[in-house]
Structure 1
Amino acid sequence: MFGISLLDLSWLVVALLAAGAITGLLAGVFGVGGGTVAVPILYELFRIVGVPEEVRMPLCVGTSLAIIIPTSIRSFMTHRAKGAVDMSILRVWAVPVVVGVIMGSIVARYAPADLFKAVFVIVAGASAVRLLFGKDSWRFGLDMPVKPIMVVYGWVIGVLSALMGIGGGLLSNMFMTFYNRPIHQAIATSSGLGILISIPGALGYIYAGWPRAAEYPTVLALQPPLAIGYISLLGFLLFIPTSTWMAPIGARLAHRLSKRRLEVAFGTFLLLICARFAISLIG
């Protein structure tokens, strides 16, 4: 399988299970669906098993979106049980977010690999700067904007999330805090956004990657039954048990941490991810 030894495959299985646990924990803590963790980890693992650069990043993104589905559902249910989710925002964003995800998935079918990395670096970098160095005076307003502007924001979140393989939390957290919403409420609401993004996003990446199996017949990671389009079933199946187990633990932990600790931890993590992909782009 994958043209690697049994020992290497065993290491890959263990690594995916461990990565799933970390993804679920951080998904619950930060309300980000886990994509910001899953994508860079999958990128390194698929590199080790020989997936070509041209298809590696979209395979990571598509697999991440599939992984986010159960993780987001469990995280959202935990946050909603605590009464922290703003359902009015989710209702306004539902349609434009899904439309944006569909459009982003279509772009993914034809986009070069570096586009995915560039979007990741720009968006994650902006979020990290906001979290680490932002001040309370950095505000677009003291309340959420009118519905037409909210619709545009929702569409942008959908497009960018589809290209990054994230559940939208990275973007919606930043957006909501710029409009004076508490970080805990932003995190809780973002967990629901992950559901709206991950399901149509995963379907879109099946469509986007469907012809790739025939184009790369020697790359077993892209061949059925190991993959469907740009979704690695091996990665999906091994991430799910540990990520869904850890997501509620992360969500409960988020409510015990101070606002500043959440911001510093999340911002530092994002900077590390940005550095990794920036180096890849330069190299």
Structure 2
Amino acid sequence: MNIEAMSLMELAPFAAGLVFTGLIAGILAGLLGVGGGIVIVPVLYHVFTLLGIDEGVRMHLAVGTSLGTIILVSIRSVRAHAQKGVVDWQMLRDWALPVLAGVVLGTGVAAWVSGDALTGVFATIALVVAANLAFGKESWRLGSQLPSKAVQYPVAAAIGGLSALMGIGGGTFGVTFMTLYGKNPREAVATSAGLGVLIAVPAMIGFVWAGWNDPRLPPFSIGYVNLIGLALIMPLSILAAPWGATIAHAISHKALIRAFALFLALTSLQMFYRLFG
């Protein structure tokens, strides 16, 4: 699929699919208090599948585009949390280099592996996240305070690497790690928003480089980042998030979390089926 070969009529379904992605991502983020790639990547993957994007670049494009959308959202989020004084800036400074090292490694792996391998990574970790959401308990603790830097730094690097591979902002892993060691959930969420900026900017640049001039990419793509996706998903997800938040007040939070866990699990299983079915 390339821009020279496409008419406006052929481009319209592609844009419509991205509009749908932005709206669904925003609603789910507002409903569940989650955001970034853990919502956007699977929705984009399904949309790209329906639109017939080449299977060899489908997952790379979903991950790279997701990383691009995370940047603005993470900046807005961390600024809002900073105004309330709940961001642990010292922790972000301590984690910056390990996270960056992990992102560089993760992006390098993503550039080297096939689309099937990248899909397998996302599907595997998404299934683990789904199980944690479905069966995990807020009371679970590994300690009352964060472990030593000798433990934190490898964890930070792993969070950066896995997040780059999955196209997410790190909140899924960061919040879990911090709360398991007794950090206040609000501080954990706020600090993880800062991780999103540290992860998404270099990872997106890496995905642009990795996919540069790939002939299988859809129109208006710079490497594995689709500019139409950025232009449509970011504002629409921000617009739709309050709609989801409104719905969330009328529905059991536990039921919502389990529903999202089911969504992730089904997405993961569908990806596995496409890989091995």
TM range (shorter): 0.7 to 0.9
Aligned to 2:21: 19
1:228 paired residue among 208, 214, 222: 222
What is the aligned partner in structure 2 of residue 239 from structure 1?
A: 233
> Is 1:170 matched with 2:172?
yes
Match of 2:55 in 1: 53
User: Which residue of 2 is the match for residue 278 of structure 1?
Assistant: 272
Measure how far apart 1:61 and its partner are.
0.8
CA distance in 1, matches of 2:74, 2:259: 20
In structure 2, relative to structure 1, the CA distance for the partners of 1:165 and 1:250 (3 Å cut) is same
What do the CA deviations read for 1:225-252 (whole angstroms, capped 9, x no partner)? x111111112112212212334577789
Partner SS, residue 181 of structure 1: coil
Could you report, residue by residue, the CA deviation over 1:130-160 in whole angstroms, capped at 9, with x for unpaired residues? 2221235633212111112111111000111
Q: 1:255 and 1:201 mapped to 2: Cα distance?
A: 35
Alignment partners' CA distance in 2, 1:256 and 1:77? 28
Q: Out of 64, 67, 70, which is 2:69 matched to?
A: 67
Give the structure 2 partner of residue 121 of structure 1. 123
Counterpart in 2 of 1:154?
A: 156
Contact 2:21–2:47 under 8 Å retained in 1: no
Q: 1:44 to 1:90 in 2, by over 3 A?
A: same
Native 8 Å contact 2:57 2:217 kept in 1 = no
SS at match of 2:182: coil
Please state how far the C-alpha of 1:25 moved relative to its aligned partner. Answer: 4.6
Partner of 2:96: 94
Please report the TM-score for the alignment, with normalisation by the length of structure 2. Answer: 0.84
Structure 1 unaligned blocks of 5 or more: none
- Give the secondary structure class of the aligned counterpart of 1:91: helix
* Alignment RMSD: 3.1
| Cα distance between partner residues in 2 of 1:259 and 1:144 | 28
* Greater displacement, 111-120 / 19-28: 19-28
CA contact (8 A) 1:86 1:189 kept: yes
Give the paired residue count. 275
- With over 3 angstroms needed to count, the CA separation of the structure-2 counterparts of 1:41 and 1:137, relative to structure 1, is closer
Contact 2:145 / 2:181 at 8 angstroms: preserved in 1? yes
Q: CA deviation at 1:21?
A: 3.0
Q: Percent identity?
A: 45
Question: What TM-score does the superposition give when structure 1 sets the normalisation length?
Answer: 0.83
- 5+ residue gaps in structure 2? none
Note if contact 1:76-1:188 (Cα within 8 Å) is conserved in structure 2: yes
Deviation at 1:91, TM superposition (A): 2.3
> Whole-Å Cα distance in 1 between the matches of residues 246 and 164 of structure 2?
27
How many angstroms apart in 1 are the aligned matches of 2:30 and 2:192?
A: 10
